[in-house]
């Protein structure tokens, strides 16, 4: 039976405004229907997490569609690799301008599809895409190799060679996390096959048409909506790709790495889970610390891999900090309509995520921890809203302390010495981020050196910048996104020897 689903559909936003939403797969600069049906059917239903009701359906890719997209990316690379870097600069800057022009629509799509508050969250996500495009445009014509003298009659040079890249992006930052991959990849001269999350496919499809409008050639940027077990696995295994970049859970990251190894040993970068500690020493500014700690764990409804979901507080100031922190939560966060200017916290992204987070809250209570929910009375009952939840009287072996919950849930425990704080901070399989609050500069640097995490925030939390490398240690991942180091992920070094006079 032939599907009647169109390739583009008009969608009405809660504001009453309408926009045209692409629904097809974006391959070779065109929205197309799948070549065959995927294992779960040929359509994906995407749901508004604020209401629990469907928004629309999009076409669902299969392994065969991955093959079509990879072939398009390979064909495009034949000419794209020879395009002058200055042309890439111009295209990236044009794309950034288009993102600026479409920021309101992209942000509204993010709010609708992923449950982000429009003004306090979704707008910032989209604005960061334009900012990163411009940053990477500045690098596109400055990715130089090296000249290495060997002898008076011989030298070598190195060149950076772009790769054909598969990207797998998560649902918590649909357009922003995608940009962490496509911005440096496009600047480096790569061609891309990108898989969006099956939970939040809409904004990346809308963005794809801006790539075409900016003037990027067919096949350079391709977007597939689909399930991880079908599309994600096919990307990880595909021999036509030289690189796979993944952001998501540690469990899935391990599968991506295994698939890449078992196929063609393609390069792999992983940005996975976290259980980031925030250490509060007795000399910290508690009011400022509470503000940062509140932001660092509750922003994006706690669906953030660097969320400071474990707070460790010096026992001498524990009671004072807890009182200030609980008060800060009530001040900072208002749950409600994500299109309202006053809303600062939306729902979690799906029914599955709602059930998962609620199960951990139940587990915490059953394990004997004390639950504080200062906003419970104002939490909407419809949709996938969860009240900010704080656990005290926790033990280090509790599941709520050890396992990544990925929701508005935080544990707060005590320490008595600096060495105990460091030991507790490092007692995790993860190593993505850590936060340290102290006014003692010597202690700040000493503890920062001892804590095992890829990003350390001193007297702040989650205020990363696109100019600074980002990535994890231990089970939190491999490789560094952002900053100059990001370009190492999307190029491989080629060495060329110049022999100009010596004879064998």
Is the pLDDT at 2 greater than 50? The verdict is: no
H/E stretch holding 388 reads none
pLDDT for the residue 415: 98
pLDDT (tens digit per residue) in 358-394: 999 999 999 999 999 999 999 999 999 999 999 999 9
CA dist., res. 406 & res. 477, Å (int): 17
Residue 36's pLDDT band, with cuts at 50, 70 and 90, is: confident
Is the pLDDT at 155 greater than 60? The verdict is: yes
Residue 15's pLDDT band, with cuts at 50, 70 and 90, is: confident
Closest CA to 248 of 277, 218, 221, 271: 271
Is the pLDDT at 471 greater than 50? The verdict is: yes
pLDDT for the residue 504: 74
Is the pLDDT at 37 greater than 60? The verdict is: no
Q: Is the pTM of this model over 0.85?
A: yes
Domain boundaries, given as residue ranges, for the chain: 8-272+480-492, 277-465
- Give ∠ CA 471-472-474 in degrees, rounded to 5: 160
- Give ∠ CA 487-492-497 in degrees, rounded to 5: 125
| 8-272+480-492: CATH number | 3.40.605.10
Is the pLDDT at 39 greater than 60? The verdict is: no
CA dist., res. 146 & res. 381, Å (int): 60
Q: Average pLDDT, stretch 200-217?
A: 98
| 277-465: CATH number | 3.40.309.10
pLDDT for the residue 42: 83
Residue 503's pLDDT band, with cuts at 50, 70 and 90, is: confident
Q: Are strands 243-247 and 267-271 parallel, antiparallel or unpaired?
A: parallel
pLDDT for the residue 41: 56
CA dist., res. 113 & res. 126, Å (int): 14
pLDDT for the residue 3: 54
In the chain, % of residues over pLDDT 70: 98
For 149-168, the three-class secondary structure string (H helix, E strand, C coil) is: EEECCEEEEEEEEECEEEEE
Q: Average pLDDT, stretch 423-448?
A: 98
CA dist., res. 230 & res. 217, Å (int): 27
Which residues participate in catalysis according to the annotation? 271
**Average of per-residue pLDDT values in the chain:** 96
In 3-state terms, what secondary structure has residue 28? coil
pLDDT (tens digit per residue) in 339-355: 999 999 999 999 999 99
Residues listed for the chain: 504
pLDDT for the residue 5: 86
H/E stretch holding 19 reads strand 18-22
Q: Average pLDDT, stretch 311-326?
A: 98
Is the pLDDT at 1 greater than 50? The verdict is: no
pLDDT for the residue 412: 98
pLDDT (tens digit per residue) in 265-295: 999 999 999 999 999 999 999 999 999 999 9
CA dist., res. 127 & res. 135, Å (int): 13
383 near 349, Cβ under 8 Å? no
The residues, any chain, with a CB within 8 Å of residue 152's CB and separated by 6 or more, are 501
Is the pLDDT at 502 greater than 80? The verdict is: no
Q: Average pLDDT, stretch 87-100?
A: 98
pLDDT for the residue 214: 98
| Strand residue runs (E) in 107-209 | 147-151, 154-162, 164-168, 191-195
In 3-state terms, what secondary structure has residue 478? strand
Q: Are strands 221-224 and 277-280 parallel, antiparallel or unpaired?
A: unpaired
Question: In angstroms, what is the C-alpha Rg of the chain?
Answer: 24
Q: Are strands 370-372 and 389-392 parallel, antiparallel or unpaired?
A: antiparallel
**DSSP-assigned beta bridge partners for residue 481:** 470
CA dist., res. 289 & res. 254, Å (int): 35
């Amino acid at each position: 039976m032939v599907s009647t689903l169109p390739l583009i559909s008009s969608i009405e936003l809660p504001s009453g405004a309408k926009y045209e939403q692409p629904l097809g797969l974006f391959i070779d600069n065109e929205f197309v229907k799948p070549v065959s049906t995927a294992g779960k059917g040929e359509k994906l239903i995407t749901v508004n997490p604020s209401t629990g009701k469907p928004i629309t359906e999009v076409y669902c890719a299969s392994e065969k569609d991955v093959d079509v997209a990879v072939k398009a990316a390979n064909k495009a690379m034949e000419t794209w690799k020879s395009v002058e870097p200055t042309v890439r600069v111009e295209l990236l800057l044009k794309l950034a301008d288009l993102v600026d022009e479409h920021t309101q629509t992209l942000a509204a799509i993010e709010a609708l599809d992923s449950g982000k508050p429009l003004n306090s969250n979704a707008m910032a996500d989209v604005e960061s895409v334009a900012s990163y495009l411009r940053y990477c445009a500045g690098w596109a014509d400055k990715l130089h190799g090296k000249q290495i003298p060997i002898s008076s009659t011989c030298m070598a040079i190195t060149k950076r060679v772009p790769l054909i890249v598969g990207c797998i992006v998560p649902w918590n930052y649909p357009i922003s996390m995608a940009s962490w991959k496509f911005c440096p990849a496009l600047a480096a001269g790569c061609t891309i096959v990108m898989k969006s999350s099956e939970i939040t496919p809409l904004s990346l499809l809308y963005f794809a048409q801006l790539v075409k409008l900016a003037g990027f050639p067919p096949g350079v940027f391709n977007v597939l909506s689909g399930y991880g077990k079908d599309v994600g696995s096919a990307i990880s295994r595909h021999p036509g790709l030289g690189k796979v970049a993944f952001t998501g859970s540690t469990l899935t990251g391990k599968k991506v790495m295994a698939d890449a190894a078992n196929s063609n040993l393609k390069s792999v970068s992983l940005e996975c889970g976290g259980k980031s500690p925030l250490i509060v020493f007795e000399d910290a500014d508690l009011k400022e610390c509470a503000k940062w700690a509140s932001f660092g764990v509750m922003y994006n409804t706690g669906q953030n891999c660097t969320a400071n979901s474990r707070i460790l507080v010096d026992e001498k100031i524990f009671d004072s900090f807890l009182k200030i922190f609980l008060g800060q939560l009530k001040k900072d966060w208002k749950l409600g309509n994500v299109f309202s200017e006053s809303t600062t916290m939306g729902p979690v992204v799906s029914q599955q995520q709602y059930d998962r987070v609620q199960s951990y809250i139940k587990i915490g209570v059953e394990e004997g921890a004390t639950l504080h929910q200062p906003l419970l009375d104002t939490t909407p009952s419809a949709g996938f809203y969860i009240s900010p939840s704080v656990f005290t009287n926790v033990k280090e072996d509790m599941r709520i302390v050890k396992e990544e919950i990925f929701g508005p849930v935080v544990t707060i425990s005590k320490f008595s010495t600096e060495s105990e704080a460091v030991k507790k901070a490092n007692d995790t399989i993860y190593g993505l981020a850590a936060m340290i609050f102290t006014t003692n500069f010597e202690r700040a640097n000493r503890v920062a050196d001892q804590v095992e995490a890829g990003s350390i925030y001193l007297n702040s939390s989650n205020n990363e910048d696109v100019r600074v490398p980002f990535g994890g240690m231990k089970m939190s991942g491999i490789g560094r996104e952002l900053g100059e180091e990001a370009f190492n992920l999307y190029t491989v070094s080629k060495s060329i020897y110049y022999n100009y006079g010596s004879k064998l």
